[in-house]
């Protein structure tokens, strides 16, 4: 992830809380696991020790990545967003041109994407295909099975 990461206030708060949890509880648990494995004897043949050290490394990597996201984060204010075009935080109702099926998605940052809750990333093929479009325009989304066309039916916040 490079550049600016646009987040909602809720997304920013959740990321800060998760980072704090990893820095405190996560690091504490990793240190405890390493200490327990160290007590079991010879470190050169101790698979549990190696696994605990690997887990600690992965935890530190995740903390580092989250800190990078927060360092480049910009919290978006809904009152300043324009609903004439699809932007980050837009709720977009689209209609599949081929089958007429309508769907509504909210465009969010990568870290807040959650397809089950109909939140798609602006960097996903669907999100990037919708960005900048206006009501009535056709968005062409590239998929592995070929291009799909969606008509923009409504844009709201």
Tell me, what's the pLDDT at 11?
82
Tell me, what's the pLDDT at 111?
80
Work out the average pLDDT over 58-64.
94
Model confidence at 81: pLDDT above 80 = no
What the chain holds in terms of domains, given with CATH numbers, is 5-75 (1.10.287.180), 78-156 (3.10.50.30)
Contact of 140 with 148, CB cutoff 8 Å: yes
Report the percent of the chain where pLDDT is more than 70.
98
Least confident of 3-7, 10-14, 95-99, 111-115: 3-7
Model confidence at 43: pLDDT above 80 = no
CA distances from 155 to 63, 71, 73, 116, 117 (A): 35, 30, 24, 20, 17
Contact of 92 with 152, CB cutoff 8 Å: yes
Tell me, what's the pLDDT at 1?
41
Q: Cα–Cα–Cα angle for 5, 13, 3, nearest 5°? A: 10
SS3 content of the chain, % helix, strand, coil (to 5): 45, 25, 30
Tell me, what's the pLDDT at 58?
95
- Stated as kind and residue range, the H or E segment containing 6 is strand 5-7
Query: What mean pLDDT, rounded, does the chain reach?
Result: 87
pLDDT in tens, 87-140: 888 899 999 998 999 999 999 888 888 889 999 988 889 988 998 899 999 999
Least confident of 80-84, 113-117, 140-144: 80-84
* pTM, rounded to two decimals: 0.65
Residue with tokens 């690091």: 27
Q: Identify the DSSP state of 124.
A: S
DSSP calls for 58-106: HHHHHHHHHHHHHHTEEEPPGGG--SSS--TT-EEEEEETTT--EEEEE
């Amino acid at each position: 992830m490079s550049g600016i990461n646009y987040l909602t206030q809720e997304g920013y708060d959740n990321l800060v809380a998760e980072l704090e949890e990893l820095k405190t509880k996560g690091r504490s648990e990793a240190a405890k696991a390493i200490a327990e494995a160290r007590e079991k004897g010879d470190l050169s043949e101790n698979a549990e020790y190696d696994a605990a050290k690997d887990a600690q490394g992965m935890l530190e990597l995740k903390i580092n990545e989250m800190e990078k996201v927060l360092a480049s984060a910009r919290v978006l204010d809904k009152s300043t967003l324009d609903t004439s075009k699809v932007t980050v935080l837009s709720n977009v109702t689209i209609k599949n041109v081929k089958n007429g099926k309508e769907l509504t998605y909210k465009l969010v940052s990568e870290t807040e994407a959650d397809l089950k809750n109909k939140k798609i990333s602006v960097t996903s093929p669907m999100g990037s295909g919708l960005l900048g479009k206006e009501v009535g325009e056709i968005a062409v989304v590239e998929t592995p099975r070929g291009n799909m066309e969606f008509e923009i039916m409504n844009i709201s916040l």
